[in-house]
Amino acid sequence: MEEKAKDIITDEQQEYIINIGPQHPSTHGVMRLVVSLKGEFVLNVEPHIGYIHRGIEKMCESLTYPQIIHLTDRMDYLSAHINNEAVCLAVEKALEVDIPDRVKVIRTLMSELTRIQSHELFWASYGMDLGGQTCYFYGLRDREMVLDIFEETTGGRMIVSYNCPGGVMYDLHPNFRKRVKEFIKHFRKVLPEYDDILTNNVIFHGRTVGIGPLPLKEAIAYGITGPSGRASGFSCDVRKHEPYSAYDRVKFNEVLFTEGDSYHRYLARVEEMRESMDIIEQLIDNIPEGPYAVKMKPVIKLPEGEYYQRVETARGELGVFIISDGNKLPYRVKFRTPNFANLSVLNHLVKGFKIADLIAIFGSLDFVIPDIDR
């Protein structure tokens, strides 16, 4: 009799394990979360990755340097241009090429536009994850203007493939300046609407304030970069600390908060859109004249050695590590992707919170799954 009672008790205390994904709308891609629950509370989360693994790093070993660039579009597809830029900067660093000012400014402008459209999509999808369907329509509506700018200049909407070692593929479209100014004017007007709809909403506050706090020490220990890290007070903006392209000639603030909860991770991204607009406004009227690319050799061979370049994508620090043996193909390419590092903290953050908060925390870290799997 006593034993039976014990069994019942242990049955009640047993963990209840469910799968979220791989085809779940709130994982924004193909990722499986194995969640152990006790009642409604999360005990443990185990992310199972690899559903969209394509072996990009291995593929790079059989491609020449200009060919690698189009693969990096497919890692973090929302910051495609910044990924392209990272590889180009690494190759240019290795070859010690002087890049014209015009190229630097073009790259910076495009990077910031990429950042804005990425954060807009974050805003849209985060709102939808937490039950605000309207956000999704408004976010995508404004993002469309940036995508049009990309399409006019580069020919691609998300997958831009605009960089090449030594510069960019084509010159800016004559309409570029006009369209960007139109967009900034429109977006300055619309951003307060975003605040009215979502940032100041009482339900949104209830779902995010104090949910999944990440102290500064742990953010550094886990290597959380990007807006998620800066929400915890980790000053990790590569644009500020190790300026590349034209970031050394613009003035902007690094958005820093100390709370580190879901709400501030969200807020850091919204504030970053404002900073990005400031950067674009500083540069758009003084794009220097000159060539849009340096003439490179038809076959690019890097001198033997190891090269590393880091850039700030919309989600954090992307590092490109190339080992060259002097051939036209790289010996090894390694991408330090921000999403993979940020994923490691998920289990730590959600412990003790409810399963609905798991969605809020997962959304606030803003994952792009192909970037995790590569």
Partner 1 sequence: MRSIINYLKDIFWGVMSLLKGLKVTASYFWRPGAIVTEKYPENRKYLVMFERCKGELIMPHNDKNEHNCISCGICQMSCPNGSIEVIPKTIDTEDGKKKRILDKHIYRLGQCTFCGLCVKNCPTHALAFSTKFEHAVFNKALLIKVLNKPGSQLKKGVEQ
* Distance (Å, whole) CA 316 – CA 344: 14
Q: Which residues contact 140 (CB under 8 A, 6 or more apart)?
A: 120, 121, 124
Give me the least distance between CB of 17 and partner 1, in Å please: 36
The span from the CA of 314 to the CA of 122, in Å, is 10
Residue 34 or 197 with smaller CB distance to partner 1:
197
The CA dihedral of 343, 146, 319, 91, to the nearest 10 degrees, is 160
Whole-angstrom Cα distance, residue 178 to residue 369? 34
Residue 59 Cβ, how far from partner 1 at the closest point, in Å? 9
Decide whether 122 or 162 has the Cβ nearer to partner 1: 162
Closest CB 8 distance from partner 1, rounded Å: 40
- Cα within 13 Å of Cα(179), Cβ side: 19
Q: C-beta of 1: minimal distance to partner 1 in Å?
A: 48
Cβ nearer to partner 1, comparing 149 with 365: 149
Taking the least distance from each CB to partner 1, the nearer of 134 and 327 is: 134
**Cβ atoms within 10 Å, residue 285:** 8
Counts for the chain of helices (H) and strands (E), in that order: 16, 8
- Nearer to partner 1 (CB atom), residue 200 or residue 235: 200
Instruction: Give Cα separations from 162 to 103, 129, 221, 293, 314 (angstroms).
Output: 11, 32, 35, 11, 17
Three-state SS sequence of 315-360: CEEEEEEEEECCCCCCCEEEEECHHHHHHCCHHHHHCCCEHHHHHH
Of 21 and 66, CB closest to partner 1: 66
Instruction: Work out how close the CB of 366 gets to partner 1 at its nearest, in angstroms, rounded to a whole number.
Output: 22
Closest distance between partner 1 and the C-beta of residue 66, in Å? 6
Residues belonging to the chain: 374
Q: Which of 203, 209 has the CB closer to partner 1?
A: 203
Q: Give the interface with partner 1 as residue ranges (CB under 8 A).
A: 63, 66-67, 69-71, 74, 134, 141, 144, 148, 151-156, 159, 161, 164, 169-170, 173, 193, 196-198, 200-203
The helix-helix angle for 133-154 and 101-129 (nearest 10°) equals 160
Closest distance of CB 329 from partner 1, Å: 12
Residue with tokens 């910044």: 82
- The smaller minimum CB distance to partner 1, of residues 165 and 223, is found at 165
Q: Is 230 helix (H, G, I), strand (E, B) or coil?
A: helix
Q: How far is the CB of 115 from partner 1 (least distance, A)?
A: 22
